[in-house]
Amino acid sequence: MNRPLATSSLWILAATVVLVAALIPFDPMLSERAQGLPGAIVAFNERVTDFGTFSWMIYGSGFIVILAYIVRRVSSNETLAGRARTARRLSLYFFVTIGATSTLVHLFKLVVGRARPELFPELGAYSLTPFAYDNLYASFPSGHSAAVGAFFGAFSMLVPRLRPLFLVGALMIGVSRVIVGAHYPSDVAAGLLLGLWTAIATAFFFARRQWLFRFNEQGWPLPKSMLPPASR
């Protein structure tokens, strides 16, 4: 692992630990208040939350539209064959990022075994049953949040100037998981950051092979379109 990747990994790990530790004491209160919001808000979030599934992230039509936009941006100076190659690598980048995130999040869910909010009246907010092999004990981390963290994290690596927009999208879907009663806030924070880390780590992997990304002078992967022609 090179230094920039190690540094960013440590920062994300530290942010995860701090956020989860800060949110855990407030999980029950925040979860109860979120679920008690007006019915129209809850209904809206029930629709929003569906966009956080791993399957939608891979097969959604919006993904195809945005992917086409990025192909034009990243490969504006390439031949038709070059653009086809870039499109394949873009698809591979999203597939690897989302697939790796899905694997990691399900592993953590299995090992931690945190009871979901719907079991709060019986077990409380801090009940852990590792290796339960039951979806009711798969609250931490949030899978939807990890998926959108990976999805929008990948976009933020490819189109850095739109990062604030991608951040808002990820947070909206993450918050929706609390409002619909599927997860506690600390579950969402952990999931979002896990997905983001996977997107960054995959970008480093691709940059080493000069696929889509190249390392800048500081060793950080940037889209080839953002680098001077001599560096591409």
Domains of the chain as residue ranges with CATH: 3-231 (1.20.144)
3-state secondary structure the chain: CCHHHHHHHHHHHHHHHHHHHHHHHHHHHHHHHHHCCCHHHHHHHHHHHHHHCHHHHHHCHHHHHHHHHHHHHHCCCCCHHHHHHHHHHHHHHHHHHHHHHHHHHHHHHHHHCECCHHHHHHHCCCCECCCCCCHHHCCCCCHHHHHHHHHHHHHHHHCHHHHHHHHHHHHHHHHHHHHCCCCCHHHHHHHHHHHHHHHHHHHHHHHHCCCCEEECCCCCEEEHHHCCHHHC
- Model confidence at 122, pLDDT cuts 50, 70, 90, reads very high
Q: What percentage of the chain exceeds 70 in pLDDT?
A: 83
**What pLDDT was estimated at residue 224?**
82
- Model confidence at 89, pLDDT cuts 50, 70, 90, reads confident
Compute the average pLDDT of residues 199-208.
95
pLDDT over 80 at 74, yes or no: no
- For the chain, what is the mean pLDDT? 87
Lowest mean pLDDT of 86-90, 124-128, 148-152, name the range. Answer: 86-90
